[in-house]
Structure 1
């Protein structure tokens, strides 16, 4: 069955990023933003990062600052680690 959860990530000139499908912001500072999204946990790294706006009702986050990159945490990798520790 296809995944029906929707998410968009827009990065403009590495100076700002707009993300839809945001569920929660776990933590943030000026170099790192850790958030939960419809597609899984996302990590954003950069410099001088600031949250421009956040609407959990509309599931949108807007961040300004110099963006180094963003990545999703590999859920299957974490599940494997958990099972390895349990059955070791």
Structure 2
């Protein structure tokens, strides 16, 4: 029997580059005032800007709310398999 991986939905809603809602979040790997690194159903998501804040995290629902001055959003198809992978992604996105 062949197992097919079912990919869940992922949504990114951004309002005026100041506030956002992200769904399909598996984990928050790191965040500070300049970068937020998330593992999502669609791969790694890096949000960069200034004065960034994670306002609400609900990993049971896979949702986060963020705010700040958002300059860029980028994806990587690599998925984290362990917590130590966070340091690898930090190096990749610098």
Both proteins in one fold, TM over 0.5: yes
Structure 2: segments with no counterpart, 5+ residues: 79-94
Moved over 2 A (4+): none
Of structures 1 and 2, the larger Rg is shown by 1
Structure 1 pair 26–4 and aligned structure 2 pair: CA distance change class (3 A): closer
Q: Which has the higher helix share?
A: 1
> What secondary structure does 2:13 align onto?
strand
- Taking structure 2 as the reference length, what is the TM-score of the superposition? 0.73
* Inter-partner Cα distance in structure 2 for 1:25 and 1:4: 19
Trace 1:28-39 onto structure 2 (pairs within 5 A): 28-39=31-42
Instruction: State whether structure 2 residue 20 is matched by structure 1 residue 20.
Output: no
Contact 2:7 2:41 in 1 (8 A): no
- Taking structure 1 as the reference length, what is the TM-score of the superposition? 0.78
Contact 2:36 2:48 in 1 (8 A): yes
* Number of residue equivalences: 75
**Root mean square deviation, CA, Å:** 1.6
> What secondary structure does 1:57 align onto?
coil
* Inter-partner Cα distance in structure 2 for 1:64 and 1:41: 19
* Inter-partner Cα distance in structure 2 for 1:33 and 1:68: 12
Structure 1: segments with no counterpart, 5+ residues: 76-88
* Inter-partner Cα distance in structure 2 for 1:4 and 1:29: 28
